[in-house]
Structure 1
């Protein structure tokens, strides 16, 4: 058994190591590929010795690097948030997009745009934090009203209902206050046109949230075994759930403020990681961070390749991947 544990840890280290290498190569490819293809040597030159007088250097550093960094950060954040939600709720269908967290964040951004017309990146992020908490609170509130408690499928249905409600209200607000064009970016979901002004304010939030997630990872492992087991082992379940909930809100809110609504990253990646390394969240969280970032970077590259020179929204790419996976999980959990 101990040998098996060592092998699992070694395998997780390999996932993080090689995943990080592939992520860096994918980011380099994403920077080089675009409406105008740029040699990798030019990409490297712009990074190590930036020359603002060169147009290619400006394109790389001001447009493409922020875009790929945003894709990696958002993918990592959503994957970690999904892993934490699944571990805390013991719900395999839990993820920010399904549990109403992302739709709540988008709803709050719609309200903020209607009230203030223009928003700074920090203002957008704070609005997303508030909306994410509203969306999650509504979903769990509706789910708790159902008979026989909170089952995975009931939570998923409540999340779908609240998502539809908040999306409809957001659309009505956008039309009434004439901010539909501004809000369309957050609906479509993507990282095209993102600049450093949107990315930089969110980086400290991501760093703090990931550190907190790693700190409570062992407690989430215990909590995922059941409430009674966690209490029996001396876990302060209320405190852990509170910290975990805050981490999910911070990660999701920051991600939505940058890229809009991108679904299913937090559903697909944690399931894949648990299949590979088991149920220890000390391994699941770092592996999810790496593969989540890799998935979204690759999805962004694919979005540019489907119908060039036009770009397909990354949210649509992730829906093509995530919807069949969600239906499979819902069918399996419904059968149980």
Structure 2
């Protein structure tokens, strides 16, 4: 009994420590991203920032250029990390990620298709709808193909890779065919946070907040589901309903993020692994801590992308891909080595 209590206290201590470190990193990164490199900003002019006068260039740079970008990075990073947690839980496969499972690429293709059909003016609502629809279409095709072949985790992942490549080739083909009207989309396709506005932040919150609440409410169900499908059914869980609800949340999180920032990959792959290795497999802990770590990771990656080729603003999706690809190969090798 004493060992059990000490074990729980030790886990609680590690969770609190990791959460505290992540919050500190997030706040420090947000402060750096807010003021670092702003020309003309000094301690003597810090008071001007409180005026919120949009005609003041410093105020505009900090509150209307830097701050929305930081907040969007935090929201999207959290959403992608939570989506990765849920997707790995649904498939019971540690290699699952929205980028690999066809969801990102499905959303990207439908966004590009909507821009071809409806043009580039006043497209905020169109892009959001297309993002959600494409994420749902990509994920549904993957799931349907795996079911037709006789559902297994490995077949689901293979179907995801195949659909992801197919959707990516369609997207590339449309960009080549409609180069004149889609030239601006190339930067977006790499995953970018530059140009974020307060409208983008508000739209991201509309999709993220209910999805985040839903994921937390599903945490206990995922703890049961992680025991195995047969065991979960034996305990009275409606496995199909839980999987569908989780899949809907993933679509909302990924579709919204792709519509606003383009396809940013591997955040949902990297973060859940690190969190589970630190705090265990209890989804009541893994989901909120993953949200914190995803926010910190994407914000740090965005700050790094702004400085790596300064003054060129590198799309953050390139940096996450550079980090995520070796990590994915490492996981594949470890999984194959483990049989």
Aligned position for 2:310: 308
> TM-score, length-normalised on structure 2?
0.92
Cα gap change, 1:89/1:43 in structure 2, threshold over 3 Å: closer, same or farther?
farther
Pick the aligned partner of 1:66 from 55, 65, 68: 68
> Are residue 19 (structure 1) and residue 17 (structure 2) matched?
no
Number of aligned residue pairs: give it. Answer: 333
1:134 equivalent to 2:148? Answer no
Q: Is the 8 A contact 1:199 1:258 kept in 2?
A: no
Out of 95, 98, 101, the residue aligned to residue 99 of structure 1 is 101
CA deviation digits over 1:226-269, x for unaligned, max 9? 11111122222222111111110001111111110111000000
1:113 aligns with 2:134: no
Cα distance in 1 for partners of 2:165, 2:26 equals: 34
Give the deviation of 1:41 after TM superposition: 8.1
Which of residues 209, 223, 243 is equivalent to 2:211?
209
* Distance apart, 1:102 and its partner CA: 0.6
1:241 is aligned, of 240, 243, 255, to 243
| Structure 2: tracts of 5 or more residues without a match | none
Name whichever of 177-186 and 240-249 sits farther off.
177-186
**1:76 aligned counterpart, secondary structure:** helix
SS in 2 for 1:293: helix
| Structure 1 contact 83–266 (Cα < 8 Å) conserved | yes
Change (3 A) 1:41 1:145: farther
Question: What SS does the aligned partner of 1:231 have?
Answer: helix
Conserved? CA contact 1:80–1:289, under 8 Å: yes
> 1:262·1:318 contact (CA, 8 Å) conserved in 2?
yes
- Correspondence 1:35-184 to 2 at 5 A: 36=39, 38-39=41-42, 46=49, 48-118=50-120, 119-146=122-149, 149-152=151-154, 154-177=155-178, 178-184=180-186
- What runs of 5+ residues in structure 1 fail to find an aligned partner? none
CA drift of 1:18 comes to 2.8
Q: Tell me how far apart the structure 2 counterparts of residues 278 and 43 of structure 1 sit (CA, whole Å).
A: 43
Deviation at 1:70, TM superposition (A): 0.8
CA contact (8 A) 2:91 2:156 kept: no
Matches of 2:240 and 2:145, distance apart in 1: 20
Preserved contact between residue 116 and residue 182 of structure 2 (Cα < 8 Å): no
Whether the 8 Å CA contact 2:104–2:263 is kept in 1: the answer is yes
